[in-house]
Structures are given as structure tokens and as C-alpha cells.
């Protein structure tokens, strides 16, 4: 959890850092759609290339970006195994042991799924949390959802809740690590024993963590009330959001990238996902 990318902002002055947060939210949605448009080997290669381009443009160290994938290794490994053993192919199996059959299509699907999850996590992290401060993200989300105010939807409240959630994910991760180290110093063991014993060992961690989270929420609420904070109508902004030429250029590049993926799916080169 310490390496999770959500809520962690990496300061910088790159092109992605200077983009309008509203544009970055829309581009993130488009990029997610692009990851699911990939079907062929060529399109997946282009998708992987786009990740490295984003890393270069954002000027974020590769080690920091790769850390965001670490918490999802179990999910990636599970998905990898599921695709290998459960995908049926039209060609003869590469390996057959009893009822277990491994097809070339299963291996291809497993590799493609790994690339898809990797690109999805790193790409969305670079577009949003790594290059956008929580405050800018809140302002951009509130601006995009502003038409819902006519339906009396508390848009500002929802945007603020999301911003606070993203902000406190790394804080709660550090708090969990501190509590676990304190419990280990007192002789607690979280790695040995049966599954039920491990679950019981987590109780001394969960209770202090919930208490700490509630206390932090109360302190934040008191701090906002002491500063006479109120959202909604009449609230002014220190930074007014404005779109520039660079926002249009990057948006056109992402749209062209999505169109290119659709066209590359038609290229008969390598394996194509069904």
C-alpha cells in the first residue's frame, strides 16, 4: 500500500503538470477507453509505447511510476493464471496434463491482460494523481459536473469528498505501517498460522486505524469550521481554470492515439484477442 499512486502528487513543471485539470480528467477517461480498444499485438505494442511516452513527458522517475503497480501484483498474477488455464483455443494445446490444457491463445491473452492492467494503472496515475494536485482535481471535477447543479445535486460536496479521500489514502497507508511496526515490536505475528489466526491478528491493527481515521476526520472538520469554510454558491477561487493551446494539442494527440488503436486492430499481424 505504500507505493500506491492514488493521492500522491509528484511536483513538477512538465507539459502534463501544466494541463488544465478538466482536460486531464477527460483525457483519463479517453485513455481508459483506449486501453480496452486494444485487440491486436500491434495495438498493445502501441499502448505500451504510450506509457513510456507519458513517463518521459511527465518527467516522473520510472521507479516511482513502477511502484504504483506493486500493490496490484497479486491481482495481475491471478488474472495471468486465469487466462492461461481457462482460455480455450482453436489450435492444438501446447501442454496437456490430464484435464489441464494450455493453449497459445491463453498465453497471448495472459500477456495482453498484463499489458492492459499495467497501462491502465500507470497511464491514469500519470494523467491524474501524479501530475495533478488534489485541489486542482477537485476544481476540475466540480467544473465538469457543474451542469448537475441545476438539478440540485451537491456537486461541490462530492468533489470535496473525492479530493479528501485521495489526499488521505497515503496518510492512512503510513498510519497502517506505523501501527503494524508497533504491534510487531510487542511480539505480534501477522505472517504465520492459519487463515483464521491471521485474520484475528489484524484486529489490533484495524481498531487503532479506525480510531485514528475518525480522529483525523474530526480534526479536519473542526479546522474547516474554524476557518469559516463553506462551499457552493458565492465561493470564489484563487486559481481560475482556463484552457490553452497546449490543452487542445494534447487532446487531439490522445484522440488520434485512440483512432490509431482502432485502425491497428484491423491489422492481421500476430495474435488478435477474441
The grid coordinates listed for 119 are: 497501462
Secondary structure (DSSP) of 95-130: EEETTEEE-HHHHHHHHHHHHHHHHHHHHHHHHTTT
Q: What is the pLDDT of residue 72?
A: 76
100, β-bridge pairs: 97
| pLDDT > 60? residue 185 | yes
| Average pLDDT in the chain | 81
Q: Which residues contact 118 (CB under 8 A, 6 or more apart)?
A: 48, 51, 69, 76
| pLDDT > 70? residue 271 | no
- pLDDT confidence bin for 274, thresholds 50/70/90: low
Query: How confident is the model over 141-158, as pLDDT tens digits?
Result: 888 888 888 888 888 888
Q: Identify which of 274, 269, 273, 265 has the alpha carbon closest to the alpha carbon of residue 34.
A: 265
95, β-bridge pairs: 102
Q: What is the pLDDT of residue 168?
A: 80
Query: How confident is the model over 78-101, as pLDDT tens digits?
Result: 888 887 777 776 677 676 676 677
Lowest mean pLDDT among 54-58, 114-118, 223-227, 267-271: 267-271
- What average pLDDT does the segment 208-216 reach? 89
- pLDDT confidence bin for 134, thresholds 50/70/90: confident
Highest mean pLDDT pick, 2-6, 51-55, 262-266: 51-55
- Percent with pLDDT over 70 in the chain: 89
- What average pLDDT does the segment 162-184 reach? 81
Q: What is the pLDDT of residue 45?
A: 86
- What average pLDDT does the segment 88-115 reach? 76
Amino acid at each position: 500500500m505504500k507505493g500506491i499512486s492514488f493521492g500522491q502528487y509528484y511536483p513538477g513543471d512538465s507539459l502534463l503538470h501544466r494541463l488544465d485539470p478538466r482536460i486531464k480528467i477527460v483525457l483519463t477517461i479517453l485513455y481508459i477507453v483506449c486501453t480496452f480498444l486494444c485487440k491486436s499485438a500491434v495495438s498493445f505494442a502501441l499502448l505500451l509505447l504510450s506509457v513510456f511516452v507519458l513517463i518521459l513527458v511527465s518527467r516522473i522517475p520510472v521507479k516511482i511510476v513502477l511502484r504504483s503497480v506493486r500493490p496490484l501484483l497479486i491481482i495481475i498474477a491471478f488474472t495471468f493464471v486465469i487466462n492461461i488455464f481457462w482460455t480455450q483455443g482453436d489450435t492444438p494445446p501446447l501442454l496437456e496434463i490430464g484435464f489441464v490444457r494450455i493453449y497459445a491463445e491463453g498465453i497471448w491473452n495472459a500477456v495482453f491482460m498484463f499489458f492492459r492492467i499495467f497501462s491502465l494503472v500507470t497511464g491514469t496515475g500519470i494523467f491524474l494523481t501524479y501530475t495533478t494536485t488534489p485541489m486542482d482535481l477537485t476544481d476540475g471535477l466540480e467544473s465538469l459536473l457543474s451542469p448537475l447543479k441545476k438539478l440540485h445535486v451537491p456537486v461541490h460536496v462530492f468533489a470535496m469528498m473525492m479530493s479528501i479521500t485521495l489526499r488521505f489514502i497515503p496518510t492512512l497507508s503510513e498510519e497502517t505501517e506505523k501501527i503494524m511496526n508497533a504491534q510487531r515490536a510487542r511480539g505480534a505475528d501477522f505472517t504465520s498460522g492459519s487463515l483464521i489466526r491471521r485474520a484475528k491478528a489484524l484486529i489490533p491493527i484495524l481498531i487503532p486505524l479506525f480510531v485514528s481515521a475518525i480522529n483525523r476526520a474530526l480534526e479536519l472538520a473542526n479546522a474547516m469550521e474554524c476557518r469559516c469554510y463553506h462551499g457552493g454558491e458565492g465561493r470564489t477561487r484563487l486559481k481560475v481554470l482556463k484552457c490553452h493551446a497546449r490543452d487542445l494539442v494534447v487532446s487531439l494527440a490522445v484522440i488520434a492515439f485512440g483512432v490509431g488503436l482502432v485502425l491497428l486492430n484491423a491489422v492481421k499481424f500476430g495474435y488478435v484477442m477474441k
